[in-house]
Chains A and B, each alone.
Chain A
């Protein structure tokens, strides 16, 4: 087992808490992406794992060994940096072998063989004798990954490795990284602020916000059943619409109402939800789950239209709340129009307005009652 486990990991700088009690478990051979906005503590978490920072509290296990106080060099991790961190005066080959020089367990032949293997995998055999200044950004990043490969570490730690590349190259390298991981199956923790990168690369994705892990789940589940309001708004492009309303019971059905607008939840609704009738809730619905319908329950005053090519993203106010709706391309909508909308009843979400936790996903109305979800995904804060 070469997984990573952190237990109640805390890092404070002066009086700022960068990481506030993180329990994370990266499984053996897994590619886990840690995603979040800048300043959320994701890079600090990675640096704690690498040993570049020492935790204020908590413990870190790598490959079933507690390494909380072990020096970075002894943790058998390899790190790939955002700006590649290549030594400008060394050739690609020297850069790749420099870190090995201190590990005496390799003979020269073994080192040469490892470099050859890594170079072949990364397709940089012709570049090995060049210095970084003679390499393009993409090539430099390959060398940086090659340097991690030759060390054959227990885990890879990657700190936004693609964010210095241009958009096209980034997409290409993303695919190559996925392929590489498919081939090597080395446990990898990958930090990024780009949710598209997170969704496409990760076996699972951990969303971090304000020093805390919000949710750890496979990409599709993250999208379909966000555990918190933050995850709902952060994942997806654009993110989920969230609107504050009141949970109302009308005979057998349950509605979320704000102003003139009212969205019915599909029946039957479980008791745990109906018991909160009359409370304030946050309704979440993705732009692509809203559509135009004559006499629909929602009416939107259009303020902006953004033709994206494959869809027409339309923004406006529903009641007093800003919302976005993704309409078919070439829809005849103009600023100032009033649209009549309906929401896909299978794709509604409810969040606690105070704590932000999700307590209802209409797609799994029944399932949400079951125990297969972590406790924090369904917390309800009675206020």
Chain B
């Protein structure tokens, strides 16, 4: 692998340089992850004071629990909508930014400044602006379109608002990566399209999307992980899983079982399920992309 690797001889030196990283990943990543697996076979009593080995009971309990299965279904739906929504909006904005010729720099700044929006800020701001009684969005939705938003009590509305918040928070990130991918399209291809008179829409679908596919695969994976793990602050600040568990995503259920009910074994089992689900999804996404993406 290159000429570089023979620059320094001492193996000991290499291990010393790696020591901080290795120590940190073992202490804070591998050890706790294995512990999670171990904990998932135990049941916790008396607010975490006592434990007992129960084998797979935690898992069978979870898979038999209507609340948990609903949470899994909700999370899946949430992930699918958030991934597709944030990718679609991101692609639209990135493509417009790529196409525009006047004021490109100004648009670029205007479009990417929502990048790095803290999830907690996104949640808090939308909680207020879409508030059922004092929210300005709610007010105009009703005044202009006659839509009455009462998402503190109507389940599907709560789910919708949280989903919109999650998409909004993630779009800036997707725009940046998609624009980078678009900028890598060789200029000669653009010129060929212009000379051939290819329509804008066909150009996007037939030329740019295939060329962007490695970036799209990367973004699908990242956005999936975000939907599963990164949306916690939104739920915690906006709905606390309600109304009537309509936004009770798996990550929120896990948090409640672990830190409100002190049911550490059950929570660990949920961590394991989350891991298996996300790892499995990532694997499938990468396998599928192997077949369709143009690297």
CA distance A71 to B6 in the complex (A): 11
Q: Mark A63-74, 1 if CB is under 8 A from B, else 0.
A: 000000001000
A70-99 interface (Cβ within 8 A of B): 71
Interface of B is mostly: loop
Nearest to B9 among chain A residues (CB) is A71
Interface residue count on the A side (C-beta < 8 Å): 2
B1-38 interface (Cβ within 8 A of A): 3, 6, 9
Which of chain B's residues have a CB closer than 8 A to the CB of A52? 3, 6
Which of chain B's residues have a CB closer than 8 A to the CB of A71? 9
- Top 3 A-B pairs, shortest CB-CB distance: A71-B9, A52-B3, A52-B6
Which of chain A's residues have a CB closer than 8 A to the CB of B6? 52
Which of chain A's residues have a CB closer than 8 A to the CB of B3? 52
Interface of A is mostly: loop
B39-73 interface (Cβ within 8 A of A): none
A/B interface sample: 3 pairs, CB < 8 A: A52-B3, A52-B6, A71-B9
CA distance A71 to B9 in the complex (A): 9
Nearest-neighbour CB distance to chain B for A343, whole angstroms, equals 49
Nearest-neighbour CB distance to chain A for B253, whole angstroms, equals 52
CA distance A52 to B6 in the complex (A): 8
Nearest-neighbour CB distance to chain A for B7, whole angstroms, equals 9
Q: Mark A26-69, 1 if CB is under 8 A from B, else 0.
A: 00000000000000000000000000100000000000000000
Nearest to B8 among chain A residues (CB) is A71
Nearest to B6 among chain A residues (CB) is A52
Nearest-neighbour CB distance to chain B for A69, whole angstroms, equals 11
Q: Mark A312-352, 1 if CB is under 8 A from B, else 0.
A: 00000000000000000000000000000000000000000
CA distance A52 to B3 in the complex (A): 9
Nearest-neighbour CB distance to chain B for A185, whole angstroms, equals 32
Nearest-neighbour CB distance to chain B for A231, whole angstroms, equals 31
Nearest-neighbour CB distance to chain B for A354, whole angstroms, equals 38
Nearest-neighbour CB distance to chain A for B51, whole angstroms, equals 56
Nearest-neighbour CB distance to chain B for A159, whole angstroms, equals 13
Nearest-neighbour CB distance to chain A for B3, whole angstroms, equals 8
CA distance A71 to B3 in the complex (A): 16
Which of chain A's residues have a CB closer than 8 A to the CB of B9? 71
Nearest-neighbour CB distance to chain A for B203, whole angstroms, equals 38
CA distance A151 to B124 in the complex (A): 64
CA distance A71 to B8 in the complex (A): 10
Nearest-neighbour CB distance to chain B for A79, whole angstroms, equals 14
CA distance A52 to B4 in the complex (A): 10
Q: Mark A272-308, 1 if CB is under 8 A from B, else 0.
A: 0000000000000000000000000000000000000
CA distance A135 to B53 in the complex (A): 72
A196-226 interface (Cβ within 8 A of B): none
Nearest to A72 among chain B residues (CB) is B7
CA distance A176 to B6 in the complex (A): 34
Nearest-neighbour CB distance to chain A for B10, whole angstroms, equals 11
Nearest to A47 among chain B residues (CB) is B3
CA distance A52 to B9 in the complex (A): 12
A348-371 interface (Cβ within 8 A of B): none
CA distance A184 to B3 in the complex (A): 32
Nearest-neighbour CB distance to chain B for A35, whole angstroms, equals 24
Nearest-neighbour CB distance to chain B for A54, whole angstroms, equals 9
CA distance A75 to B151 in the complex (A): 77
